[in-house]
Amino acid sequence: MAFVTTARHCAALALVSALVLAPAGGPAGAQQSARKNPQTCIDYSADPSGCQPSTFATPTGQLPSRRVGRAGTIDAKSSEADARAGAQRLETRLHLFRNITPLHWVTTVPSVKDPATGGWTGGDLDAMGDARGLGIAGDCLFVGHENGLGQKHGINIFRIAPDPVRNPPVQVGEIPAMAQGDQGFDDRELRSIVYAGTDGTDRQILVRNGGTQSIGRQIVYDIDMKTCQVKLTSSVYDFGGQSHEFYLWHDPANPNRLLVYMTIWTPAVPDPNNPGLLVADLYAIAITDEKSGAVLKDPRVVATFTLQDAGGPRLNEKPDATGLYSDGRFIDYSVNRNLQGQTGAFNQAEQNKLHSITISDDGERGYVAGTTSGFYVLNTEGVAHHGNAELAAGTAGCNLHTTLVATPGNIDASRLPELANDCMHMIINDDPGLKAYLGSSAPPEAKLQRYLGLETRSRFDPYPPFNALPTGTHSAIPVPGRPAEVRGNTKGRPAYVWLSDENFGGCPLNYARMVSVEQEAFPAMIGAFAIPDNLLDNCLKQPITEPDGVTRRRPIAQQNHNPTVFKDLVFTTWYGQGLRVVDISNPMTPREVGYALPVPQGIARTYPIFKDGLMYWADNRTGLHVARYTGPYADEIPAKGVYEGNATSPHR
């Protein structure tokens, strides 16, 4: 299959100058002020504070969700050149880029011409693509696809050009789609890294996480750094449930050692790899030989964690007859309807799954986004400080799997002290006061009450009362370069963690939160960031027609998703609300300082990845985008190296 790969705009820099200085259609006073002082901030949100503009309100009613022509109006028959020119025209007129220079729009799924109508369909230019996972390392870039029944797009292999500002990535190959029968697997996440082992040899790998709604499989590829092609492939690791997101960790104490921390969306089913056990919430998996650095033919599980086994909230908890859960009740917005007639948000269950995890650089902490069970911190020192062989053999001095203290309807208080000996365990189990109490002569009932109270408090859990269908706490990324200035923080643990909250189960939509982990066993929210459509009334009134006022818009999800975080900036993909840049220099009052909403309106989904100062992200409808951030704290974006939200960064 041939793919079209072209530069997005021939005059990207001219476009940004127009946006930042005095674009046509902007306020006359703002244009005159900008001419007198080029540094003047121009606000398009009608915020009276001017240079402290409010968060940009996505002009949904003016944003087409389909292919456009040169005039910027919907035109399924337009040429590629006209479609790109029309998109640029709308982006300028609607002020859809702020403090971001768009460089390239690279298609990953080509459009197909319908011979009956002469119209184009099915591709990125039509906002009908399906780009999914994104991996970048060295000069190689990989884009996965959201496949399904009858759809089997392979992974695009691109090579980044020597002058990536002027020239877009060029496709140089493809990795075949994973499939079972006629069902193509969703390549939901890809990670790549270049590393040098102890022998000094440079290697590159690509980790692929794909599957269906019930299947999850992992493959590791040994990549030729010069050609970006696959040299060798590991065996397929079948989790027995849907693998969802993962973190790629590079051991600073052993450059040969790379681990995948994989989360499972359908846990508690029989584990095909460990008879008698159930699929866990989280797996730590060795993917390279810790002595040579070579890709392992057979990945090896070195530790697992399951919140429910440790006495956490149960999976898929249902409420009682009155709607009460063990930790409260949800706000019922179901009496409201949007313009499509859909009811507002109201949770019918608490799933309490583990969605994603971020591992500290030293490997000793895991920051967990635990859906409706909230955010919490894991102690992962057992994995970090022991080799793969001893962990897998059970000789590391810690328990490979979570100690089973809970069964349906019962918790064995006598086993609670064992949790602190698990290779991965909740940080609350290390609290000296709790450890002393669990080891005392207090009655089992009192020990259980103390443990459950502190375990619940150790999770920042706003669900309920807030709705969170289908996810809740989606990502948890510690803020780098800002260690907690508290007594005993000898290892420079972070002061703050940025949380993204995902909800597309009706209005209102969820937002982003800043939590303090200065006392890491008891996280607390200190700040938040939202977009205008997070308000119930705005969400309910979102237009359902294209700019012509007649044609029905395609449904476009709008939830908060994946962030990449620097010391003072968060870059987060926000689905139909585009890519947003948030200033967190004051963590109590995050404010928006940039955004990118390409035309046609798509679904910005992947973690933004920074490679040598440029920003890359994949849009679930419109393909691959390349840009440069130019706003406040732009000097925090390193000119060299690869930085992303879900892999050890920087890396090559």
447-466: average pLDDT: 97
Q: Report the SS3 class of residue 403.
A: coil
Do residues 128 and 122 make contact, with C-beta atoms less than 8 angstroms apart?
Answer: yes
pLDDT (tens digit per residue) in 94-124: 999 999 999 999 999 999 999 999 999 999 9
Amino acid identity, position 30 = A
134-146: average pLDDT: 98
User: pLDDT tier at 70 (50, 70, 90 boundaries)?
Assistant: very high
- pLDDT at position 408 is 83
- pLDDT at position 229 is 98
Q: What percent of the chain has pLDDT over 70?
A: 92
CA distance 398 to 530: 42
- pLDDT at position 23 is 34
Under 8 Å CB-to-CB from 13, ≥6 apart: which residues? 101
- pLDDT at position 50 is 57
Q: Which long-range contacts (CB under 8 A, 24 or more apart) does 219-226 make?
A: 219/178, 220/287, 220/295, 220/296, 220/299, 221/175, 221/295, 222/294, 222/295, 223/140, 223/192, 225/138, 225/139, 225/140, 225/194
436-454: average pLDDT: 97
Length of the chain: 652
User: pLDDT tier at 342 (50, 70, 90 boundaries)?
Assistant: very high
- pLDDT at position 32 is 37
Q: Is 630 exposed, middle or buried (0-12, 13-18, 19+ CB in 10 A)?
A: middle
Do residues 18 and 181 make contact, with C-beta atoms less than 8 angstroms apart?
Answer: no
pLDDT (tens digit per residue) in 598-628: 999 999 999 999 999 999 999 999 999 999 9
- pLDDT at position 246 is 98
| Residue 36 phi, psi (nearest 5) | -75, -40
445-451: average pLDDT: 97
Cα 557 to Cα 370, 452, 504, 621, distances in angstroms = 21, 36, 7, 11
Q: Residue 11 pLDDT more than 70?
A: no
- pLDDT at position 31 is 35
135: closest CA among 89, 190, 86, 175? 190
- pLDDT at position 36 is 41
Residue found under tokens 């948000």: 345
Q: How many CB atoms lie within 10 A of CB 320?
A: 9
User: pLDDT tier at 1 (50, 70, 90 boundaries)?
Assistant: very low
Q: What percent of the chain has pLDDT over 90?
A: 89
CA distance 544 to 549: 9
pLDDT (tens digit per residue) in 481-530: 999 999 999 999 999 999 999 988 899 999 999 999 999 999 999 999 99
Do residues 345 and 351 make contact, with C-beta atoms less than 8 angstroms apart?
Answer: no
User: pLDDT tier at 43 (50, 70, 90 boundaries)?
Assistant: low
User: pLDDT tier at 274 (50, 70, 90 boundaries)?
Assistant: confident
| Residue 447 phi, psi (nearest 5) | -60, -45
- pLDDT at position 54 is 80
User: pLDDT tier at 46 (50, 70, 90 boundaries)?
Assistant: low
507: closest CA among 475, 472, 473, 542? 542
- pLDDT at position 47 is 61
CA distance 372 to 313: 9
Q: Residue 80 pLDDT more than 60?
A: yes
- pLDDT at position 45 is 64
57-83: average pLDDT: 97
CA distance 293 to 208: 18
- pLDDT at position 12 is 41
Residue found under tokens 């309106």: 601
Residue found under tokens 């971001």: 100
Cα 222 to chain centroid distance, Å, stands at 24
pLDDT (tens digit per residue) in 172-210: 999 999 999 999 999 999 999 999 989 999 999 999 999
49: closest CA among 635, 627, 591, 621? 591
Query: What would the two tokens of residue 302 be?
Result: 């070195």
What's the pTM? 0.93
- pLDDT at position 40 is 59
Of the chain, the end-to-end C-alpha distance in Å amounts to 30
Q: Residue 16 pLDDT more than 50?
A: no
Within 13 Å, how many C-alpha atoms sit on residue 19's CB side? 26
Summary mean pLDDT of the chain = 92
| Buried-exposed string 394-409: b where 16+ CB fall within 10 A, e elsewhere | eebebbbbbbbbbeee
Do residues 133 and 189 make contact, with C-beta atoms less than 8 angstroms apart?
Answer: yes
